[in-house]
Amino acid sequence: MANFYIQCTGTEMMNFRPHPSRSVHGAGGPRASRSKSNWRQRHTELVEAMSNARATKRAMAAGLPLPPPPPPSANPDYVQCPYCMRRFNETAAERHIPICKVKLHQSSSIRVRQNRILS
């Protein structure tokens, strides 16, 4: 086990999964560290959005009050759709949210439809 770990960290694992402090000082400088933290933030947001969307769907199905939306983080200028948890600028959100609300009621294949609308 220990030998295996050492071998991996010594060779291809470095390329595959660079050490955090190494990527900051290495390759792209501040740009690299920014994209990394951005990835982390996006991942966290995605996880939170998914659990929140599930809770919202359950609450709507059960006729309960909706759970509070997650706090805005990345872009405070953007409006987050309470139904699909995506962010839009104000104009797009005004158009999107009513549509998204209807779609949520109409169909459970909402994910496919949204992809079509948004792309």
Q: Which residues of the shown chain bind Zn ion in the complex (CB under 5 A)? A: 81, 83-84, 100
Q: State both tokens at 62.
A: 């059960």
Which residues have CB under 8 Å from 41's CB, separation 6+? 73, 74
Smallest gap from Cβ 92 to Zn ion, in A, equals: 10
Nearer to Zn ion, 20 or 98 (CB): 98
Smallest gap from Cβ 85 to Zn ion, in A, equals: 7
Nearer to Zn ion, 24 or 110 (CB): 110
Smallest gap from Cβ 94 to Zn ion, in A, equals: 12
* 17-25: long-range pairs with CB below 8 Å, 24+: none
What's the rounded Cα separation, in Å, for the pair 46 and 68? 16
